[in-house]
Structure 1
Amino acid sequence: MFGDLSWRPLTDEDAKASADLLNAIETVDKSGENYTEEDTRTELVDPYADLDRASLAAFEGDAMVGYMKIRFKPFAEEVHRVFLDGGVHPGYRRRGIGTTLAEAGVEAAKAVHALHHPDLKLMIDVHKAEHIAGLAELVRSQGFTPVRYFQRMERPLGDAIPGTEIPGGLRVEPWSEENDEDFRSVRNASFEDYWGAAPMPADHWKNKITNQTFRPEVSFLLRDSGGTPVGILVTMYWEADTEATGVRDAHFMVIGTLREHRNRGVASALIGHALRAAADQGYDQASLSVDSASPAGAPGIFEKAGFRPKMRYVRWALEVS
């Protein structure tokens, strides 16, 4: 069925082959995700991606034609949600490779779950753009069902971005090495009531947030009059996207406000400040992803700031007893 394909776990030496595969997938799936070798290497060295136990890739010669990998969570309560990611080269689809990888992913998720949170319920999540051809059929065949929807939203930038007044009693400051831990603590505290969220330990924060795509000059923190951090906005930028599209996109990766400070203009002030900063630094647009059922009413806040829906993502889940 698979011809001369070879199969093995991923390693951190597969960064270039992974980038080549993901960029080939993007030419067909059009999810707006382009990669450099450095980007894929960052994902491969994720401290919570157990490549030996929980990844599998298919190769024809030196070319990777399909992969799957699992990312588990170091902290979980009641439910341990692991993420199953994967893809198949467009030229190799409809051959059963995706089904083989999906089945292997479910078994790998069970294995890492048994190692880290054996007493909790296991939920396996897949997060993909809704429009990808054949994706829904594949995950449904493995028992996954849609449980949540997310929107990618975009806003063009330019001279029309007005300056933003910071609410009284608050002050804004850019990211620095000195306040990095404040950023992380606000992220963890503000996401406590977000569906599926879990605390980010320092090593995960460094890998996922303050990596080569992080833009500290467009990342800000708000403090109250006593100096307590109450809100953050973190911006990322992918050079590969600009190479592919010609558009410089400032992606607002994390926007968080402590619960006791919500509905006081904190998020709006951070967004406005970051939009102006991004425009001043030559970005063409800003983007973000939002949970359609955000407990903080985020979709409305973003629409008020000029963001408009661009692409919908589905979170598929499989409960494993």
Structure 2
Amino acid sequence: MTVDLANLTRRPIAPGDAAPLAELLNAIEVVDVFGEYYSEEDATDQINAPLLDLERGTVGVFNGDRMVGYSSAAHKLLVEDVHRVTVSGGVHPEYRRRGLGAELLAAGIASARALHAIHHPGLPLAVDAQNNALNDSARACYQAAGMTPCRWYSHMRHPLGAAVVDVPTPDGLVVEGYSVHNDAEFFAVSNEAVLDRWGGVSVPLEQWRAFVGWPAFRPDLSFLLRDVDSGAAAGMLLTCSWGADTAATGVRDAHFTRIGTRRADRKRGVASALISHALRSARDAGFDRASIEVDADSPTASNGLYQRAGFSVARTEVRYTLNA
């Protein structure tokens, strides 16, 4: 197919673009394999993310009503030492190898700089992007823009069934499910735990509310461990499951999106007990597998934790960064 890129329309993504965005993301998934499929509802959630500045942070490329490429820069509201802006994007397979990917990456980096100048001008800026480690074209595009690999992430899967390792709840702790009554404790544990991860920063309450409001969020498969004596929350695990993934693959996947342990409760077996409980619950609820994304260089050695629980690596993604 011959397409004159100059005749394509470029504009910020708008709330009404959910259907063409979902179609584009699903076409990209077939080739690039991120393990993610989108319904129109899922794309709506992405577009309506609380901190996404559509006007300054996004670009959609259209051929008529069809979206054929996009870029998105997501700034952070709460920052420690470095403002890390994550840039995502992609090009429809039929429109590749014409320079559109490089154009969109440049647009994403420019958006990151503009957002940084508004929100955190006094801090250093790092622009991050992540892609499948096997995507040679993406790697070449990032490197041409001056981005270098800085982190590797393992996408791990668990087959459930007999592979679930039964880990008892440690003495002095009790499991309880997610509810509106303990939501604030889930939020607090998540924000404390993330600070010990590379690039981790706390999320504002508005962002948390949007997360637990996703249709994909599974409160019935999300759990808190509480210390019986003190009454304080020791750790938490949140699970999501996307209907679009199941419709496309025929596999019901319970994705553990957040796992965290308070610093004071580490070395008590909190994470192992939560993972075991969540795996048993997912299996009993009829799920086919569980999954999680893990920082391969995690200071808490989480890869080993999940391997002992029966997870194995399905694919690897690379984080690229540009100190801008």
Q: How does 1:96-245 map to 2 (within 5 A)?
A: 96-159=99-162, 161=164, 163-225=166-228, 226-245=230-249
SS in 2 for 1:66: strand
SS at match of 1:134: helix
TM-superposed deviation, 1:163: 4.4
Q: TM-score, normalised by structure 1?
A: 0.97
Q: What is the CA–CA distance in structure 1 between the aligned matches of 2:207 and 2:175, rounded to whole Å?
A: 25
Quote the residue 1:77 is aligned against. Answer: 80
Q: Mean alpha-carbon deviation: is it higher for 163-172 or for 233-242? A: 163-172
Question: Corresponding residue for 1:27?
Answer: 30
1:319 aligns with 2:307: no
- Report the secondary structure of 2:161's partner residue: coil
Distance 1:2 1:281, change over 3 A: same
Of 262, 268, 273 in structure 2, the residue corresponding to residue 264 of structure 1 is: 268
Give the TM-score normalised by the residue count of structure 2.
0.96
Contact 2:33 2:132 in 1 (8 A): no
> 2:34 corresponds to which letter in structure 1?
S
Q: Give SS of 1:186's match.
A: helix
- Aligned residue for 2:46, secondary structure, equals helix
Identity value in percent: 46
Task: Provide the residue aligned with 1:52 in structure 2.
Answer: 55
SS state at 2:83 partner: strand
Whole-Å separation in 2 of the counterparts to 1:227 and 1:175 = 16
Separation of aligned partners in 2, 1:162 and 1:210: 31
Deviation at 1:212, TM superposition (A): 1.0
- Give the alignment of 1:283-298 within 5 angstroms: 283-298=287-302
Counterparts in 2 of 1:140 and 1:244: CA distance versus 1, 3 Å:
same
- Equivalent-residue separation in structure 2 for 1:103 and 1:127 (angstroms): 15
C-alpha RMSD over aligned residues? 1.1
1:253 aligns with 2:257: yes
Residues 159 and 279 in structure 1, CA contact (< 8 A), matched pair in contact too: no
What is the distance in 1 between the residues matched to 2:108 and 2:158? 36
Q: Does the CA contact (< 8 Å) of 1:219 and 1:232 recur in 2?
A: yes
Gaps of 5+ in 1: none
Q: Secondary structure at the match of 1:171?
A: strand
Q: Deviations over 1:207-247 (max 9, x none)?
A: 23441110001000001121100100100101111111111
